[in-house]
Amino acid sequence: MSPYNHLEDHFARIGNLDDAVGLLHWDMSTIMPKGGAGARAEQMATLRRLRHSLVAAPEVADLLNEAEANNNLAPWQEANLAEMRRAQIHASAVEGKLIEALSKACAACEMIWREARPAADFARVRPALTEILRLGREVAAAKAEILECSPYEALLDEWEPGGRTHAIDPVFDDLANFLPDFTDQVLEAQAKSPPARLPKGPFPAEKQRMLGEKLMAKLGFDFERGRLDQSHHPFCGGATDDVRITTRYDENDFVEGLMAILHETGHALYEFGLPKDWQRQPVGRARGMAMHESQSLLIEMQACRTKEFMMYAAPLMRKAFGGRGPDWGASNLHRLYTRVQRSFIRTEADEVTYPAHVILRYRLEKAMVVGDLEIADLPGAFNDGLEALLGIRPPDDAKGCLQDIHWYAGAWGYFPTYTLGAIAAAQLFEAAKKANPEILPSIGRGDFAPLLTWLRTNIHSKGSLQSMPDLLVAATGRKLDPKTYKSHLKERYLNT
């Protein structure tokens, strides 16, 4: 067997470990009894340390050196080898015992956060979060030295390969300057239109689930290879050919739960569309979280908040909840799903104010990783930052720094991928509509096949064959372009 073929076999086994961790995490987040938390933390830590040892093993470095000397690899193999090398560099920078300690700390902190969030009790989770940050800084420092980047960028690179602050900062600073005045303009324009009215509830969770599953099927979700469940925080996870998505329901307002389902379905469609010939290989995985978020936001924001989609979905919503009257009309529901308002919760935020939530978290986590912001000062810094960006101040920490799971699960460096993904989503949807003018009319009939076909061809089937900039250039003709995103916002919220 050639060195490259040895590596393929080796990384296929690593892929199986990733799948096992994915399912254990899904179980922990959905149906695991509370008493199993300690044992689950041990299980996941053991698997993550085992995975780390398999990637960082000295023989892997030797095989990589030998395989890289081979000039006879096909393009997909070359890309796979590059992804293997990237994984090996990340793993070899950190000792296995640190990976295990961080995994246990994250599992423990997440369980505490589940109780602290509804109680708005940051003090309860602060010691556990402090420990996660301490360990995360150790990982960041070790990786930064090898990657020749800042400690924060070393963590960002885990989620967004090649992501660097010198590229992100000007984009986010531009949006931070653009959005306040633009938001004022949108709110002024919105005030001149008929107000969006939430139909009268309640909206039973079971009926929300049934409606969600009907729309998931229309989007192309494969229930033979996936399922929908409930969790404290919506996510998409699971394993190869077993994609698990979750949401949470509010029986007084069906908007958040349904849009979370559509968002996570976008993630799932990406996972279903990845190249079958490269399953469990690094090159067969999604191309970073910014591209992943572009797929979820393309479905949720770009496609499913159009007038065309609402013309199709409004009768389904009305039927699902037995609604009557004009509040269930497509026009009102479209205004409801595109309503702009300054709000505290990121996952409930509209398309216009959402980037401000992300920019705030990006700035805060950068400061925490480098030591410019201590955990004890996080609640105040969060509240000050939201007030500066959106003009509102959280009344408590449940609506402030406790609302998201990411930091409490150790996901430092993830947040910027949301807005990078939103920018990419606008660019991709524009290119898809130009390539196939039938996409929007088809969505109006509940037919997502034309859009999904374009995404399968241009994004999903490519896996990690190319970098995100190269994928965008191939699909749209240019690299990430914030101008397209701002043009989309102006068109949707000021010109209609």
* Catalytic residue numbers, as ranges: 264
Closest to 277 (Cα-Cα) out of 426, 110, 111, 80: 80
At 253 the three-state DSSP class reads: strand
> In angstroms, rounded to a whole number, what is the distance separating the alpha carbons of residues 259 and 300?
6
Contacts of range 70-74, beta carbons closer than 8 Å, 24 or more positions apart: 70/2, 70/3, 70/4, 73/4
Kind and range of the H or E element at 192?
A: none
At 362 the three-state DSSP class reads: helix
> In angstroms, rounded to a whole number, what is the distance separating the alpha carbons of residues 396 and 398?
6
Exposed / middle / buried, residue 6 (Cβ in 10 Å: 0-12, 13-18, 19+): middle
348 Cβ neighbours under 8 A, 6+ residues apart? 255, 256
C-alpha dihedral sign at 94, 96, 102, 103: positive
Closest to 283 (Cα-Cα) out of 52, 26, 74: 74
Residues constituting the chain: 496
What DSSP assignment string belongs to 390-435? HS---SSTTTTTTS-STGGGT-TT-THHHHHHHHHHHHHHHHHHHH
Beta bridge partners, 245, equal 228, 236
Token pair listed for 491: 């068109």
